[in-house]
Amino acid sequence: MKILFITDNFPPEVNAPATRTYEHCRQWSAAGDQVTVITCAPNFPQGKVHDGYRNKICQREIMDGIEVIRVWSYITANEGFAKRVLDYLSFAFTSFWAGLFKDYDVIIATSPQFFTTFSGFALSKIRRKPWVFELRDLWPESIKAVGAMEAGLLIKFLEKIERFMYRDADLVVPVTWAFKENLERRGIDAGKITVIPNGANLDLYQPQDKDHDLLSALKLDGKFVIGYIGTHGLAHGLDFIIRAAAKIDHPSVHFLFIGAGAAKADAVRLASELKVSNVTFLDPVPKEEVGRYLSVTDAALAPLRRSDTFKTVIPSKIFESAAMQKPILLGVDGQARQIVEQFEAGLYFEPEHEVSFLDAVSRLAADHNLYARLQDGGTRLARAYDRSRLAKQMQQELKRLRDR
């Protein structure tokens, strides 16, 4: 089978869309499929092209058997709505032209960002090939949830385009069951929706001893380290975490934030203004180093802002943390909470609720029996969401689509 995958994010970028796409495509390629990924020069989230790459019209490389074609796009940091839309639209245009010259049986366009689906849709019509909408984010609904854009005529117009894309796609693959329910309520045929959630690469993420050299380098010896590794975005409510951290009187509790994003500068500035001493900020680390940094943490933080929209979201970081037996401090209600509590892999706190958050931190840091139970629950959760099995499931769906 020949697969064309259109994605705005791909390694060496380390965010969740890049990781999921790469691990799925690598497994499909190893199983004998011919996989081509069209993406842009790696630049997320700072908006700076990574070392070793250039923002050229077109460049090609082979990565673990995957043909990767990188096309030019307007590049900007992950902040500022208008500039980001220009970034997204430029990639939709150039990825479409690159796709015209490839041979494939099926097309996949993944969100975020939403505009990759424009390219997938257009190529499917011109080349008469089926296309798949991989739905990672309810966009533009999530834009309203973080306050980046107010409801109005533009939002309504974008929502009409969104529904059209769902209806036109030959297969929609949402990453949560709540997304599927949302689509069904809006009249999308349930028969063409298949949920394939995120998961953990159990070969890459396994329980391991703490890296004591790294602990010493970070001056975190003897600390109960709560780690947040990932995008520091508007949706994550890190300002709330910083304000709450300032009120923790437990001397061993320390927060480690690793990553970049639109909200990081504000988070760093807030920590400085409040003179918070139990918080450390680090720049993003390469994917192969994430496990090492996770090893020095005692718990994994997964927060989002208080919004009904985010009740449909399952943060991908919970799977990797669970695989490494790091209990999860989860500030996300809905689907994510159901999973974490089902496997008893962490503690839920009410999003942006200070008392609830501080209580969860205190319990996790003080109750050793509870901590051990949550570690065991993490192992069960990770096994249930083994990314290798999930990639194989999606591969089978693609073959059925091609044959049909």
119-133, 298-312, 382-396, range with the lowest pLDDT = 298-312
Question: Are 132 and 169 in a shared domain?
Answer: yes
pLDDT tens, position by position, 42-96: 998 788 899 999 999 999 999 999 999 999 999 887 666 677 778 889 999 999 9
Per the domain annotation, does 126 fall within a domain?
yes
Query: Who has greater pLDDT, 48 or 140?
Result: 48
Per the domain annotation, does 206 fall within a domain?
no
User: Which residues span the domain enclosing 153?
Assistant: 2-199+387-403
Question: Are 322 and 225 in a shared domain?
Answer: yes
pLDDT of 81 = 66
Q: Are strands 34-40 and 66-71 parallel, antiparallel or unpaired?
A: parallel
pLDDT of 80 = 62
Of 341, 9, 21, 334, nearest in space to 196 by CA: 21
- The answer on pLDDT for 24 being more than 80 is yes
pLDDT of 143 = 57
- Decide: 105 and 3 in contact? Cβ < 8 Å: yes
pLDDT tens, position by position, 95-123: 999 999 999 999 999 987 778 999 999 99
Per the domain annotation, does 83 fall within a domain?
yes
Looking at the DSSP bridge assignments, the partners of residue 173 are 134
Of 176, 251, 182, 252, nearest in space to 20 by CA: 176
Question: Are 288 and 340 in a shared domain?
Answer: yes
- pLDDT band for 180, please (50, 70, 90 cuts): very high
Question: Are 108 and 227 in a shared domain?
Answer: no
Per the domain annotation, does 141 fall within a domain?
yes
Question: Are 148 and 59 in a shared domain?
Answer: yes
Per the domain annotation, does 77 fall within a domain?
yes
Per the domain annotation, does 20 fall within a domain?
yes
pTM: 0.88
- The answer on pLDDT for 28 being more than 70 is yes
pLDDT of 113 = 76
Per the domain annotation, does 228 fall within a domain?
yes
pLDDT of 150 = 59
Summary mean pLDDT of the chain: 92
User: Which phi and psi (to 5°) does residue 160 adopt?
Assistant: -65, -40
- Decide: 287 and 270 in contact? Cβ < 8 Å: no
Region for 64 from its dihedrals, namely left if φ exceeds 0, alpha if ψ lies in -120 to 50, beta otherwise: left
pLDDT tens, position by position, 350-377: 999 999 999 999 999 999 999 999 999 9
Domains contained in the chain, number:
2
- Decide: 254 and 226 in contact? Cβ < 8 Å: yes
Question: Are 71 and 85 in a shared domain?
Answer: yes
CA distances to 108, 166, 250, 378 from 171, rounded to whole Å, are 9, 8, 50, 31
- The answer on pLDDT for 147 being more than 90 is no
Mean pLDDT value across residues 144-153: 57
Per the domain annotation, does 207 fall within a domain?
no
